[in-house]
Chains A and B, each alone.
Chain A
Amino acid sequence: MKRRELFQTLAPHGLHSPKLGPKGLSREEAQALASRIMELSAANETQVNISSGWRGNTRFAVNRITTAGTSDNVSATVTARFGQRSASATTNRFDEASLAEVVKSAADLARLAPENPELMPLLDAQNYIPSQGYYDSTADLDAAVRGEVGASAIRLAKEAGDLKAAGFLDCRAGASALANSAGLFAYQPATSLDYSLTVRTDDGTGSGWAGRGARDWGTVPYDALHRIAVDKAQLSRSPRSLEPGTYTVVLEPQAVADLIGLLAGSLDARRADEGRSAFSATGGGTRVGEQIVDSRITLRSDPQGLGSTPWAGDGMPLEPVTWVEDGVLRNLYYNRFWADKQGAKPTGTPGSLRMSGEDNSLEDLIRGTRRGVLVTRLWYIRNIDPRTILYTGLTRDGNFLIEDGRVVHPVNNFRWNDSPLFALSKLEAMSRPVRVRANREVPAVRVGEFTFSSVSEAV
């Protein structure tokens, strides 16, 4: 049977009709597919995770559209359980034979797997705080529109004479669903996009970047982003040399988003309890309740606020969680097993992050700087020491010296070695938060000390 026919038998209306509704499976289609899989399953308990949707992207470089493509797909992961034994199998084929096969594969693997004492019972039906994350503005971005966005960036670069634009517009629209044999069903349509642009000078000495991630294309000021990248390319031309060392820095929001991600990635309660985390206390226990960064910083997960899926992979409801409040570590991430063992409340992993800010603009942060470096973005960030969340990385696409409250000239890039814990303890000021990615909203910050360990001659 063809897939299209299969879905016609499952649901009254057809697949993928962008003008009629969301791309990806409808709630009814997802429910029908999940039910059919559970019917076929011989496991004691079964869970089905479905992802479905469309992806369209356009890429440009050296002032030309270089590639563009579109694809759509539906995949289902079947998790079979026999007591404490569990395994999963994933397929993107939905004829009856393939469904029978994926169900059998999951069950066969589960029977052969050893018991997992940490496997938690399936959740039954849950209530979720609704989250709106689907926007037609993103789902309708076809190749012609995407191409025109790229073309307008290219035009602006060409007008300047000796600039080359390279960029990428990537859009997704679809729906995910989760069902299990304990009676749970969850469904969430979502869109997301990333748009970024790098403009380089033909002499290879200047490079500027601007970008944004969002769920709603309508919120992306792409003309303004084009202007920023072009201006930065021109302003960053022929950087002067600056010695490595410890500097006051103004980090733009995309750099802060990276640093905050490093901190969030270290919030695992189990690792802290086990003594292998920056948040392990010497002698045992965790550092919850200790001040870890400047007292103006609050960091929380806000799935509903950012239009993210309001449930985790096992169906657990995701609600706002405050990780850091007024600089104090308030919560660590607990999965259901570890929460149960430690008598704590389970949380989702620290995603959909929002960091507090202050009532300043980026320009205000620059104006308040006596001498420092304005950093556009960070690159190639890699862990050095998990005991302190120490990382290394580089600056890229626009590094400028600030003196007496204004940008005076471009400077070379640097390699940096630092930790979000160190840097955010030396906080001087923050801007208003900016949505830099679909799932992250952070301010620009000025911090008093940031360690540039060597010069990076790369542009």
Chain B
Amino acid sequence: MERRDFVKSTALAAGGVAIARPIVGRSLGSKLAPPPEVDASAKELLLEALDAATSAGAEYADAKVGLYRNQRIGTREQQITRVNESSSLGLGVRALVNGSWGFAATPELTREAATRAGREAAAIGKANSAVERSGVRLAPVESYGDVSWTSDYEIDPWDVPIGEKVDRMLEMNRIAMEADHVRFVSSSHHFVKVEKTIATTDGTVATQTLIRNNPGMSITAISDDNSDFQTRNWVTYPAARGYEYVLQEITPEKVEQWAAEAVQKLSADGVEPGKHNLILHPTHLWLTIHESIGHPTELDRAKGYEANYAGTSFLAPPSKVLNQFRYGPDFMQLEAERTAPGGLASVGWDAEGVKADRWMMIKDGIFVDYQTTREQVDWISEYTGVKHSHGCAHSDSWSSIPFQRMPNMNLLPGEEDLSVDDLIAATDDGIYMEGRSSYSIDQQRYNFQFSGQAAWEVKGGKKTRMLRDVAYQATTEDFWNSMDMIGGPSTYVTYGSFYDGKGQPGQSNPVSHGCPVARFHQVNVLNTGRSG
């Protein structure tokens, strides 16, 4: 088949066409987009690749064809700095031969190229098995046949004219610049749309459409004599939502508040280093969860597969920590899922044809399960009793190899519906922090240091003066076991990361983390202000 025919028949037309379309579904609460049709020509090409791999000796293969579209817009103050629309289309095949993996990818969408890629993947797998047998064994999976799924969005960002997006960004910049001392503002959009079909030799062909977006804004205030500058950054976080999310997240009222905070930071008092009680808002806490619970519970890390780059995990070996390691207090419950609407890691089926799952990882404070793909199930099933993959296989493009990536992982709220104010009122002496800032954690995910966008002193149950240069440093185990209060369902919000890195070659994975506000007892706080 010819490439142009493929593109036409799959309606995977690239950008530019869409911007002339009228905006549909503009109001919030309108009907969500329906799932895509299963793509017959993509399926044909994928089956060709799978046939070639199995004919060349593969005991298992999966293949995907995908169109990956990105739109990036950048502004500063009252001008545009970047408008880019990109699309990339291609096919990738992974083959398991004698228990070893091989992978090949091509941008050519023809039967011949698909066959060649299938054979090459198998040949690489075979070459690797000759060097050293990997002994990969895959957990069984149901055959789902032809299925489809779409992420949860109302307004396709490609349906909103570029001018409309830019006008709104410049208007928000203007509002921020109205604050005294605010001299610089930048704002950005990054929209992603992925239309892909995966096929496996286990009999699943899944066509999926995923939309996500990452709005950003950074506001910098400068002191009168140029001796100091402070920035309010990370004002919001990405989500697997459409353009409606931008309208909801970046509003004039919020921009005014962020600008005011940037200015307040110029005159805020430096924090007194030492042990402090910390009340961490979900805009901050989600990243602490991501770094100190998300990454150490990746089973490939725990088993040494990521040793050369991301590192290993303190949460190992599985036989000694599963159902034994106390992560936190009895009221700590943490679930993983790839099913939440708007969750950045939510899918219908993963890269190995496993249906999206939802499971507990920390129950009553005890660690009970890892993140798994099909080849990892065997590694821990005798301790967990789980015989199926949790569906954590993911690859970030048609040209990258699927491997284990983080699902959405959420710290569940407490039963009593305590608010942020309730936690502050219950605290005689402490620090309240919002927003993510600098974050650094070791290669086994144990010693970490995080800071926030804005922090305030809490005295006698009240939020008082703003503090700056606040960072806290702890070990994962001490920190989570010091959690002594947790907010209720009304404080639970989901934030996330657009570009979580892992693997060699490096791949980027979007992931969300929901959490309530929580309080931590006597954590080591540093003052990171100017010195030396």
Interface residues of A (CB under 8 A from B): 1-4, 55, 57-75, 77, 86-93, 95, 97-98, 101-102, 104-106, 108-110, 112-118, 143-144, 147-148, 150-151, 154, 164, 166-168, 170, 196-198, 200, 204, 207, 209, 274-276, 280-284, 379-385, 387-388, 390, 392-394, 396, 413, 415, 417-419, 421-422, 453-459
A101-B16, A170-B504 known; A151+B131 contact, CB < 8 A: yes
B528 contact set on A, CB distance < 8 A: 384-385, 390, 417
B304 touches A167 (CB 8 A): no
B19 contact set on A, CB distance < 8 A: 108-109, 112
A98 touches B7 (CB 8 A): yes
A148, B127: Cα distance in complex, Å = 10
B228 touches A110 (CB 8 A): no
A86, B82: Cα distance in complex, Å = 8
**Which 7 interchain pairs have the tightest Cβ spacing?**
A105-B16, A69-B103, A90-B86, A458-B444, A87-B83, A71-B105, A458-B442
CB distance from B190 to the nearest CB of A (A): 14
A166 contact set on B, CB distance < 8 A: 304-308
B312 touches A3 (CB 8 A): no
A382 touches B107 (CB 8 A): no
Which of A67, A102, A413, A459 has the most B CB atoms < 10 Å from its CB? Answer: A67
A394 touches B443 (CB 8 A): yes
CB distance from A32 to the nearest CB of B (A): 18
B198 within 8 A of A: no
A95, B4: Cα distance in complex, Å = 7
Chain B residue with the shortest CB-CB distance to A80: B83
A70-B120, A73-B399, A382-B438 known; A91+B86 contact, CB < 8 A: yes
B445 contact set on A, CB distance < 8 A: 458
A86 contact set on B, CB distance < 8 A: 83
A16, B244: Cα distance in complex, Å = 44
B127 touches A144 (CB 8 A): yes
B79 touches A387 (CB 8 A): no
A275 touches B304 (CB 8 A): no
Chain A residue with the shortest CB-CB distance to B123: A143
Chain A residue with the shortest CB-CB distance to B108: A3
Chain B residue with the shortest CB-CB distance to A148: B131
B104 touches A71 (CB 8 A): yes
17 contacts between A and B (CB under 8 A): A58-B128, A59-B504, A61-B307, A70-B120, A71-B104, A89-B14, A92-B89, A93-B7, A108-B19, A115-B80, A283-B225, A383-B438, A384-B451, A387-B229, A394-B440, A456-B446, A458-B445
A71 contact set on B, CB distance < 8 A: 90, 92, 104-106, 399-400
B532 touches A109 (CB 8 A): no
A92 touches B473 (CB 8 A): no
Chain A residue with the shortest CB-CB distance to B471: A384
A75 contact set on B, CB distance < 8 A: 86, 88
Residue in A63, A110, A170, A387 whose beta carbon sits within 8 Å of that of B83 in the complex: A110
A384, B132: Cα distance in complex, Å = 44
B27 within 8 A of A: no
CB distance from A48 to the nearest CB of B (A): 14
Chain B residue with the shortest CB-CB distance to A103: B16
A114, B173: Cα distance in complex, Å = 14
Residue in A89, A143, A276, A383 whose beta carbon sits within 8 Å of that of B86 in the complex: A89
Which chain B residues (249-305) contact chain A, with CB distance < 8 Å?
Answer: 303-305
CB distance from B503 to the nearest CB of A (A): 8
| B interface secondary structure, majority | mixed
Residue in A77, A106, A204, A380 whose beta carbon sits within 8 Å of that of B440 in the complex: A380
B134 within 8 A of A: yes
CB distance from B74 to the nearest CB of A (A): 10
A95, B184: Cα distance in complex, Å = 43
Residue in A453, A454, A458 whose beta carbon sits within 8 Å of that of B443 in the complex: A458
Provide the B100-137 mask, 1 if CB < 8 A to any CB of A, else 0.
11111111101000000000110110011001111100
B88 touches A415 (CB 8 A): no
B399 contact set on A, CB distance < 8 A: 71, 73
A415, B399: Cα distance in complex, Å = 36
CB distance from B37 to the nearest CB of A (A): 21
Which chain B residues (384-428) contact chain A, with CB distance < 8 Å?
Answer: 399-401, 403
A277, B447: Cα distance in complex, Å = 29
A383, B90: Cα distance in complex, Å = 37
Chain A residue with the shortest CB-CB distance to B170: A114
CB distance from B311 to the nearest CB of A (A): 7
Provide the B218-261 mask, 1 if CB < 8 A to any CB of A, else 0.
00101001111101000000000000000000000000000000
A93 touches B438 (CB 8 A): no
A284, B224: Cα distance in complex, Å = 10
B102 touches A196 (CB 8 A): no
A-B residue pair count with CB separations less than 8 angstroms: 313
15 further A-B contacts with Cβ under 8 Å, apart from A66-B134, A87-B83, A394-B442, are A1-B2, A62-B303, A89-B86, A102-B16, A143-B128, A147-B127, A167-B308, A168-B505, A198-B307, A281-B226, A380-B442, A384-B438, A387-B228, A393-B440, A458-B311
A101 touches B17 (CB 8 A): yes
B532 touches A154 (CB 8 A): no
A2-B3, A3-B107, A91-B14 known; A456+B132 contact, CB < 8 A: no
B183 within 8 A of A: yes
Which of A57, A65, A106, A196 has the most B CB atoms < 10 Å from its CB? Answer: A65
CB distance from B79 to the nearest CB of A (A): 5
A72, B106: Cα distance in complex, Å = 6
CB distance from A170 to the nearest CB of B (A): 6
A104 contact set on B, CB distance < 8 A: 16
A164, B451: Cα distance in complex, Å = 35
Which of A63, A114, A454, A455 has the most B CB atoms < 10 Å from its CB? Answer: A114
CB distance from B309 to the nearest CB of A (A): 7
B7 contact set on A, CB distance < 8 A: 93, 97-98
B84 touches A388 (CB 8 A): no
CB distance from B268 to the nearest CB of A (A): 14
A170 contact set on B, CB distance < 8 A: 504-505
Chain A residue with the shortest CB-CB distance to B126: A143
A459 touches B85 (CB 8 A): no
A119, B304: Cα distance in complex, Å = 49
B439 within 8 A of A: yes
A164, B316: Cα distance in complex, Å = 16
Residue in A88, A95, A97, A207 whose beta carbon sits within 8 Å of that of B85 in the complex: A88
B359 within 8 A of A: no
A97 contact set on B, CB distance < 8 A: 4, 7
Chain A residue with the shortest CB-CB distance to B473: A454
CB distance from B161 to the nearest CB of A (A): 6
A200 contact set on B, CB distance < 8 A: 304, 307, 312
A196 contact set on B, CB distance < 8 A: 308-309
CB distance from B489 to the nearest CB of A (A): 32
B509 within 8 A of A: no
Which of B13, B16, B105, B306 has the most A CB atoms < 10 Å from its CB? Answer: B16
CB distance from A44 to the nearest CB of B (A): 16
B526 within 8 A of A: yes
A455, B447: Cα distance in complex, Å = 8
Chain A residue with the shortest CB-CB distance to B128: A65
B140 within 8 A of A: no
Residue in A65, A109, A197, A418 whose beta carbon sits within 8 Å of that of B16 in the complex: A109
B131 touches A150 (CB 8 A): yes
B14 touches A98 (CB 8 A): yes
Which chain B residues (361-382) contact chain A, with CB distance < 8 Å?
Answer: none
Chain B residue with the shortest CB-CB distance to A90: B86
